[in-house]
Amino acid sequence: MSLKNDLIIRAARGEEIERYPVWLMRQAGRILPEYRAVRASLSGFKELVETPELAAEVTIQPVDLLGVDAAIIFSDILVVPEAMGLTYEMVEKKGPFFPKTIKSEEDLVKHAQVDFDIEDRLGYVTEAIRITNKELAGRVPLIGFAGAPWTIFCYMIEGQGSKTFAKARKVLYTNPALAHDLLQRITDVTIRYLKAQVLAGAHMLQVFDSWAGILGQVQYEEFGLKYIDQIARAIDEVPITIFAKGAFRAVESIAKMPCNTIGLDWNMSVREMRKLVGESRTLQGNLDPCALYSSHNEVERLTKSMLNSFESKRHIVNLGHGVYPDINPDKVRTFIETVKNYEL
């Protein structure tokens, strides 16, 4: 199936583009009443993730309703630890919770499994990708994704969100061998998982390192970037984006990986990052998600101001973080329209 709109692929590869492509992290989600309607009919978040027809439906909603230049498969980064043997619950208003966590080498055998068939345990994701592409019929590319090993590690050790992830960071000091063993397992599974998504039809991939920012540079090189680099090296089928949130100083290292695009959070200065990265990579981001709480005029002004700060065509426009659930979708439309109407 050939793509009718391949703008984002060309932008990722550094090819000629007629305008900047635009999409939003968490565009398939609670901002849309149509998403909330689907979600309300179900027992919970996980049922939606695990039902391919419905996951495909909400994946396509922002393409129809917002006019984004790419779809991103509706799923969760925590499907990977679950497939490895650590079940999670999504607790309403609190976030993910793992009743069991990794505490020792013995736990790895049962709860950090590596040798399993991806289609067998994560077939609901690849199936959702197949259905989505069939229904999209090439209108826009479909992005697949996974969490970065460090972020998945944090959840597998900590069992839930945390301000400091002190338990996860503790292991880096008390048992670095266990940390590396677990990180390598996550990496191996993640590579196979991402390749399965490509095989199912994902046109691009993104790796999310949500907790990159809680490590200092030296530890992030050893326990974070090292494994992301393995992933970037293993994927050559489609363009790949690395988004290490909060890891301002890692951007230079990421720019040395064989990736196409580097995600920027809203606290990073585009100009500064462009200086560090040079022209060899595409940058993605990075409007402050809170900017969409402003008036329409102000959203337009802030979006234009960001676009004016781009000194290169190698950009994919996005927010610097997932869109917040209480944002008015009309503000998102203003953001998207402003990007689409911006003359290069």
Active site residues: 26, 30, 39, 76, 155
> What's CA 240's distance to the chain center, in Å?
10
Integer angstrom CA distances of residue 161 from 66, 196, 322, 341: 30, 28, 16, 39
Of residues 133 and 338, the one with the C-beta less far from its own copies: 338
Contact between 329 and its own copies per CB under 8 A:
no
298's enclosing H/E stretch is helix 296-308
Question: Which listed range, 35-43, 184-192, 254-262, 291-299, lies at the site for its own copies (CB under 8 A)?
Answer: 291-299
Name residues contacting its own copies, limited to 167-186 (CB under 8 A).
Answer: 169-170, 172-174
Of residues 230 and 286, the one with the C-beta less far from its own copies: 286
Of residues 12 and 168, the one with the C-beta less far from its own copies: 168
Q: Across the strands, what pairs with 30?
A: none
Interface with its own copies: number of residues (CB under 8 A) = 31
CA distance 192 to 198: 10
Which of 339, 86, 294 has its CA nearest to residue 189? 86
Cα dihedral 338, 341, 343, 344 sign: positive
Contact between 249 and its own copies per CB under 8 A:
yes
Contact between 310 and its own copies per CB under 8 A:
no
Name residues contacting its own copies, limited to 204-223 (CB under 8 A).
Answer: 213-217, 219
Q: What is the C-alpha end-to-end distance of the chain, expressed in Å? A: 29
Mark out the alpha helices in 137-262 (DSSP H runs). 149-158, 166-174, 176-200, 217-220, 226-234, 251-254
Contact between 246 and its own copies per CB under 8 A:
yes
Contact between 321 and its own copies per CB under 8 A:
yes
Contact between 163 and its own copies per CB under 8 A:
yes
Question: Which listed range, 45-53, 99-107, 178-186, 260-268, lies at the site for its own copies (CB under 8 A)?
Answer: 260-268
Of residues 324 and 342, the one with the C-beta less far from its own copies: 324
Of residues 223 and 227, the one with the C-beta less far from its own copies: 223
Q: In the 8-state DSSP scheme, what is residue 160?
A: B
319's enclosing H/E stretch is strand 315-319
Q: What is the largest CA-CA distance in the chain?
A: 58
Least distance from C-beta 173 to its own copies, angstroms? 4
> What's CA 157's distance to the chain center, in Å?
21
Contact between 97 and its own copies per CB under 8 A:
no
Contact between 293 and its own copies per CB under 8 A:
yes
> Contacting its own copies (CB under 8 A), which of 90, 114, 255, 290?
290
Contact between 166 and its own copies per CB under 8 A:
yes
Q: Is 87 helix (H, G, I), strand (E, B) or coil?
A: coil
CA distance 226 to 187: 10
Contact between 308 and its own copies per CB under 8 A:
no
Of residues 65 and 290, the one with the C-beta less far from its own copies: 290
Residue numbers at the binding site for its own copies (CB under 8 A): 161, 163-164, 166, 169-170, 172-174, 213-217, 219, 246, 248-249, 266-269, 288-291, 293-294, 298, 321, 324
